[in-house]
Chain A
Amino acid sequence: MTKPESEITWKDVDIGGIVTEPGNAVQYKTGEWRSQRPIFDKDKCTKCGLCYLYCPEGCIYQTDDGYFEVDLFYCKGCGICANECPPKASAITMVEEEE
């Protein structure tokens, strides 16, 4: 776990402020931003993979059985996946995030 910025002392700072943990941004829960979330309907999904391609977060993943799921830790609820899912399938719907 990366030390949070509010706890970093000047002695913790590496050469020139360099960050040496590539991709440690994965610790940041962007999922807290969303006000709606996508629901994936396996019955309608044709496994075309377009949702995976169009997600700006890169948080949709393919499961072992070839369908697609979203990692809610990151999903911001933009709805692009639902919009891009081919109309013939319409396998993704956006629902309001409960309080």
Chain B
Amino acid sequence: MAKRVGMEVSIAIGEVVKLANADVIAAYPITPQTHIVEHLAELVADGELDAQYIPVESEHSAMSACLGSAAVGARTFTTTAGQGLELMHEVLYIASSMQLPLVMMVANRALSSPLSVWNDQSDAMAVRDTGWIQIFVENGQEVVDNVLCAFHLAGDQRVLLPVMIHLDGFFLTHMVEPILLPEQSEVDNFLPLHQYPLPLHPDKPVTMGTFAPPVVYSEIKKAQEMRLEASKEVILECWKEFGNHFKRYYSPVESYHSEDADTLLLTLGSSSETAMIAIDKMRGEGRKVGLVRIRLWRPFPFEEIRQAVKDAEVLIVLDKAISFGGPGGVVCSEIRSALYNQSKRPKVISFVGGLGGRDISPQGFEEIINKGVEISQKGSEREFEMFGVRE
């Protein structure tokens, strides 16, 4: 029987990695992920988690050690945030292009400079193109569930790709939340023991990580792209299976009060739950507003997005990251791109807010929605709005 616990989300993540019977953990501490690596170290020190814990000397080495561990077929986990994610940037491409399955938790944190340990999604947006499967979660339960799903997906022979779970640093990592932690037997029923098909082993030598001249590089890249696209089907299947086991169902895009909404707000991560309070209040006032949340970020859920927003007149996208000198909101520009060829599509308005841990209250979301509607009617000189900045 799963037990319901009030637990700090970071600790719960450690518990789930233990339930998943990870073999190797190679991680470097960085705020706000420190409680995760600390708890994992405790679990290993007490013999509760039978894993090799490698206290690496940098994030670049953390991800590199994970490559090695995955290459011999061990179940591998790591976690980082902000600057750490950026430091391992080049290694991320290797994990996905060489198809080395592993699971990484990213405690989303703002990027320097100035230094900020607080939450925004800049680090996630910076690694958008690295070829990983990427999932955003909104609360502690979702983290626990999706870390399990991530292990399930990564090692699946039809996937064999690394999986990144994004959760908001501090807003989630350091919150005590009610979480249904599954029992070991339940996890064992859901999560099979994976076998990497071609691991490094003297009995069957393979060569990993060749160099490719121009004449063949594109073919290798297309194979990689097709693999990531094909993983979507396996992700949906995994979530369905998870739901059958644990009665909690996940999908790539989720909606809240959007059926008859003429105005939609789109968010990622924990802001969604705050936004829901604003939606409830505005609905109570008779406004036809709704919320759309992206859970599956990569591979991008084109069909689900198009379906979720097709009947709205205005879609306001809140990005918690900024792409300087460009369209501002990365998520927003992807949404616009996904909708471009649709014959019927809402006006898409871009907001950038919540940077460096700046709270957006339900009131703030109301303002965003109202301002977004205004811009859709009157237009704006700017490509995107930065919300909540003192002028």
Residues of A whose CB lies within 8 Å of any CB of B are: 5-6, 8-20, 22
Contact = CB atoms under 8 A, between A and B. Distances in A.
B216 interface: yes
A10 B206 contact: no
Given A5-B215, A17-B98, A11 B223 contact: yes
Contacts of B223: 10-11, 13, 17
Given A12-B219, A13-B219, A18-B99, 12 more contacts: A6-B216, A8-B219, A9-B219, A10-B220, A10-B223, A15-B160, A15-B197, A16-B97, A17-B212, A19-B206, A19-B208, A20-B198
14 contacts: A5-B213, A5-B216, A6-B215, A8-B216, A10-B220, A11-B223, A12-B219, A13-B219, A15-B99, A15-B197, A16-B100, A17-B223, A18-B208, A19-B208
A18 B100 CA distance: 11
Contacts of B100: 16
B205 interface: yes
B219 A18 contact: no
Interface of B: 97-100, 160, 197-198, 205-210, 212-213, 215-216, 218-220, 222-224, 226
Contact of B206 (A9, A13, A22): A22
Contacts of A13: 219-220, 223
A4 to B, nearest CB: 9
B224 to A, nearest CB: 8
A49 B198 CA distance: 38
A49 B171 CA distance: 70
A31 B206 CA distance: 26
A10 B219 contact: yes
A11 B279 CA distance: 47
Contacts of B160: 15-16
A18 B47 CA distance: 36
Given A5-B216, A6-B215, A6-B216, A17 B97 contact: yes
A18 B199 CA distance: 10
A22 B220 CA distance: 19
A9 B222 CA distance: 9
